Amino acid sequence: MKQVLDIPAELSGIQQWVLDGLVAVTDEIERALHSDVPAVAALCKQVEQFRGKMLRPTLVLVSGAACGASTDEPPTTELLKLAAVVEMVHMATLVHDDVLDEAEIRRRSQTINDKAGNEAAVLLGDYLISASFRLCASLDDPEPSRLIGKVSMELCEGELLQIQNRDNLSIDEATYFEILEGKTAALVGACTRLGSRAGGASQTIQNSMDVFGRSIGSAFQVQDDLLDLLGTEDVVGKTLGRDLQKGKLTLPLIHHLGNLSHESRARSLTLLENASETRAEATGAKAKAHTNELVQSLKESDSLEYARTTAKSLIERAKSALLPLDDTPARSVLQLLADAVLTRDR
Amino acid sequence: MKQVLDIPAELSGIQQWVLDGLVAVTDEIERALHSDVPAVAALCKQVEQFRGKMLRPTLVLVSGAACGASTDEPPTTELLKLAAVVEMVHMATLVHDDVLDEAEIRRRSQTINDKAGNEAAVLLGDYLISASFRLCASLDDPEPSRLIGKVSMELCEGELLQIQNRDNLSIDEATYFEILEGKTAALVGACTRLGSRAGGASQTIQNSMDVFGRSIGSAFQVQDDLLDLLGTEDVVGKTLGRDLQKGKLTLPLIHHLGNLSHESRARSLTLLENASETRAEATGAKAKAHTNELVQSLKESDSLEYARTTAKSLIERAKSALLPLDDTPARSVLQLLADAVLTRDR
């Protein structure tokens, strides 16, 4: 959390409670991944280096505290286990995403070592998801297992829908949000829902907390799209190129292409293709010229502003979902986390 | 079951009960895999063609009947769901195995379509395993979810241990059985344990049924190794070559290499390498000569007989585990299934 937020002094109590909790969550994960097979243990040690800001476990813990869990004592075992479960699901998706991404890199230099790594990564991802389900099933409450199973299916659906729409320059906003909902928002919604449930929230509050999580998850992704475009022109050229090479359209581009006259659209599509192709050929100056022209078009169609407004309204929706909660330090932290989605610059 | 066994007339009642049950299991699977995303639905339709003899669901149903489930009415929803769960876990492993295997084929002709298929297969396997966990978590009893989570981890451990021992010509029998236990036996043990549990078996009987399942699962794999060697010499040359190319040693070969003098071992290792290499080069006559010589050595060291005896004693152990059960048609079917492992020729 420290890495994500500047926490005011009056919230230092809850901050410490979360930080201590995250240490315990790390222990839970390590226990859940324990293997007597040395090769598996070694892979699990490696994958622990993937761990980033632990945003998802943080959301579980803070949502628990915001909905009744005591912060005078360490988080309950249930909260810790739930926090470990969502992080393990996230780790599994990272590992399998890497398999998919590495596949491209390997096309250029494929070695036997690379292949062994690919196989191991598929199996390690399977191991992680199985361990997370097993840990989740160790709880007395069966609901988390049902939800995590459902959300994991949605994750796959989101990814598959994205693959299906690769290089689809006519993708519409509804499909964009459907992908985002499955790939990102569903799991974040599960974090805040399950945390609140373990804190003792009513069904109504659990539903609100799900809306909170999904909304900040969606806003986070839209903000990601914007960050790809809001740097210097050099940075723009680079990231635009990367997205295009992956055949992935971001919200500003979708808005841009969807709001043009037939003629302007044709021009922008040509620009997009040029930006993508010149990028692939890595001819710096030409790529830069093409992307500059494209970014200028995005500004003219107010597409950056449109994405910015979308992210803002998602965060507004998230914060509204917190209104029924008691005014506690934990709720304040959730509000700060929501605001931070819009102000982060990376 | 029809494809696996010749069922005597007095068992036709239980046979029909199982066959009708398997139709209902297929419906459960279809419901569990339902997706509103057309691309996902299409992939699930494709994967249904993978479905083979439904041996695992059959074992769940018959184990249920052998331990108290009524065969006067259709299998309970719990039995049907459990049967669907184990088949979906199995399907997930098949899909991911294909990803690993296809990776090899692709080394020679890698197309963009191939790659799209690879990515989709990773995600489809994830979707299948998630759906199986979700279905399992829908049961009132939390035990199946805990066991399936554990067994899924063991599956990955077995596969990873196998990858780690690829091309290891010094692999010992203990490691061979550790791989086999994880890759095959654990899930078959879960089938018979969970079926018996849903039928109302005591913990003691559930444990016996786990031994039964694990033993026939192990015997099945050893028999597989033998079938690779017991055909005509042409067939032998082909399959030996395939196993060697995959860097996978089978039980007869492990026994053979582990029971030779230093000098004979060196000769056999050279033969193995020759058989593998000439196979890779597809120089028919030379490969045949090499493998013939190797098979002759296997006979001299009684290694085929050793594997045969191992499979037999596993089946004896399996049948002993059935002794505490009441003498019912369902138990007779389990005995027949155990015997069939040894007599099957493919």
- CA-to-CA distance for A98 and A92, rounded, in angstroms? 10
From the list A37, A125, A142, which residue is nearest B142 (CB)?
Answer: A142
- CA-to-CA distance for B339 and A268, rounded, in angstroms? 69
- Check CB contact under 8 Å for B133 and A155: no
Structure token digits, residue B53: 């003899």
- Check CB contact under 8 Å for A161 and B107: no
Summarize the confidence of residues A44-50 as an average pLDDT: 81
B319: exposed, middle or buried (Cβ count in 10 Å: 0-12, 13-18, 19+) = middle
- Check CB contact under 8 Å for B122 and A126: no
- The identity of residue B93, as a single letter, is T
Does any domain span residue A1? no
Q: How far is A57 from chain B (nearest CA, A)?
A: 20
Domain total for chain A? 1
- Check CB contact under 8 Å for A126 and B152: yes
Q: How far is B118 from chain A (nearest CA, A)?
A: 8
Report residue A281's pLDDT band, with 50, 70 and 90 as the boundaries: low
Closest-CA residue in chain B for A111? B107
From the list B100, B133, B146, which residue is nearest A122 (CB)?
Answer: B100
What average pLDDT does the structure give for chain A? 86
Residue A232 has pLDDT above 80, yes or no: no
- Check CB contact under 8 Å for B149 and A130: yes
Does any domain span residue A260? yes
Q: How far is A123 from chain B (nearest CA, A)?
A: 6
Does any domain span residue B200? yes
- Check CB contact under 8 Å for B129 and A129: yes
DSSP B119-131: HHHHHHHHHHHHH
- CA-to-CA distance for B8 and A99, rounded, in angstroms? 50
Residue A118 domain boundaries = 9-343
Closest-CA residue in chain A for B143? A137
What is the DSSP code (8-state) at residue B185? Answer: I
pLDDT at A322 (0 to 100): 98
From the list A37, A100, A150, which residue is nearest B119 (CB)?
Answer: A100
- Check CB contact under 8 Å for A161 and B134: no
Put simply, the chain B residues between 87 and 126 with a CB less than 8 A from any chain A CB are 92, 96, 99-100, 103-104, 107, 110, 115-116, 118-120, 122-126
- H-assigned helices in B67-140: 77-108, 112-137
pLDDT at B243 (0 to 100): 64
- Check CB contact under 8 Å for B39 and A126: no
Does any domain span residue A35? yes
Closest-CA residue in chain A for B111? A107
Q: Are B229 and B239 in contact (CB under 8 A)?
A: yes
Domain at A290, CATH number: 1.10.600.10
Answer whether B188 touches A (CB < 8 Å).
no
Put simply, the chain A residues between 150 and 169 with a CB less than 8 A from any chain B CB are 150, 152-153, 155-157, 159-161, 163-164
A217-226, A294-303, B71-80, B263-272: which has the highest mean pLDDT?
B71-80
Q: Which of A60-69, A167-176, B53-62 has the lowest mean pLDDT?
A: A167-176
pLDDT at B284 (0 to 100): 62
Does any domain span residue A26? yes
- Check CB contact under 8 Å for B120 and A149: no
Measured between alpha carbons, how far is residue B99 from residues A207, A259, B120 in Å? 38, 41, 9
Summarize the confidence of residues A310-314 as an average pLDDT: 97
- Check CB contact under 8 Å for B160 and A37: yes
A160-169, A237-246, A285-294, B2-11: which has the highest mean pLDDT?
A160-169
Does any domain span residue B1? no
pLDDT at A130 (0 to 100): 98
- Check CB contact under 8 Å for B134 and A115: no
- CA-to-CA distance for B342 and A340, rounded, in angstroms? 64
- CA-to-CA distance for B148 and B137, rounded, in angstroms? 10
A34-48, A107-121, B103-117, B132-146: which has the highest mean pLDDT?
B132-146
- Check CB contact under 8 Å for A161 and B133: no
Q: How far is A288 from chain B (nearest CA, A)?
A: 28
Report residue B193's pLDDT band, with 50, 70 and 90 as the boundaries: very high
Chain B interface, mutation test: which of A140, A147, A157, most B Cβ atoms within 10 Å? A157
Put simply, the chain B residues between 218 and 257 with a CB less than 8 A from any chain A CB are none
Does any domain span residue A3? no
From the list A39, A136, A163, which residue is nearest B161 (CB)?
Answer: A39
Chain B interface, mutation test: which of A130, A147, A166, most B Cβ atoms within 10 Å? A130
What residues in B contact A137, CB-CB < 8 Å? 137, 142, 145-146, 149
Put simply, the chain A residues between 121 and 150 with a CB less than 8 A from any chain B CB are 122-127, 129-131, 133-138, 140, 142, 145-146, 148-150
pLDDT tens for residues B98-138? 777 654 443 333 322 344 477 888 999 999 999 999 999 99
ipTM for the whole complex: 0.90
pLDDT at A145 (0 to 100): 98
Does any domain span residue B252? yes
Q: How far is A224 from chain B (nearest CA, A)?
A: 23
Q: How far is B20 from chain A (nearest CA, A)?
A: 28
3-state secondary structure of B309: helix
What residues in A contact B120, CB-CB < 8 Å? 160, 163
Report residue A106's pLDDT band, with 50, 70 and 90 as the boundaries: very low
Report residue B278's pLDDT band, with 50, 70 and 90 as the boundaries: low
Q: Are A198 and A76 in contact (CB under 8 A)?
A: yes
Q: How far is A178 from chain B (nearest CA, A)?
A: 10
- Contacts of range A26-33, beta carbons closer than 8 Å, 24 or more positions apart: A26/A51, A28/A80, A28/A81, A28/A83, A28/A84, A28/A135, A29/A84, A29/A87, A29/A88, A32/A84, A32/A88, A32/A131, A32/A132, A32/A134, A32/A135, A33/A88, A33/A127, A33/A128, A33/A131
From the list A123, A133, A164, which residue is nearest B133 (CB)?
Answer: A133
Put simply, the chain A residues between 13 and 52 with a CB less than 8 A from any chain B CB are 35, 37, 39-40, 43
- Check CB contact under 8 Å for A145 and B133: yes
What is the DSSP code (8-state) at residue B138? Answer: T
HEC assignment per residue over chain A: CCCCCCCCHHHHHHHHHHHHHHHHHHHHHHHHCCCCCHHHHHHHHHHHHHCCCCHHHHHHHHHHHHCCCCCCCCCCHHHHHHHHHHHHHHHHHHHHHHHHHHHHHHHHCCCHHHHHHHHHHHHHHHHHHHHHHHHHHCCCCCHHHHHHHHHHHHHHHHHHHHHHCCCCCCCCHHHHHHHHHHHHHHHHHHHHHHHHHHHCCCHHHHHHHHHHHHHHHHHHHHHHHHHCCCCCHHHHHHHHHHHHHCCCCCHHHHHHHHCCCHHHHHHHHHHHHHHHHHHHHCCHHHHHHHHHHHHHHHHHCCHHHHHHHHHHHHHHHHHHHCCCCCCCHHHHHHHHHHHHHHHCCC
> If we measure between CA atoms, which residue out of B217, B197, B208 comes closest to residue B337?
B217
pLDDT at B109 (0 to 100): 34
Q: How far is A161 from chain B (nearest CA, A)?
A: 7
Share of chain B above pLDDT 90, in %: 60
Phi, psi torsion values for B216, nearest 5 degrees: -70, -30
- Helix orientation angle between A284-300 and A233-245, rounded to the nearest 10 degrees: 90
Q: Are B99 and B125 in contact (CB under 8 A)?
A: yes
pLDDT at B340 (0 to 100): 94
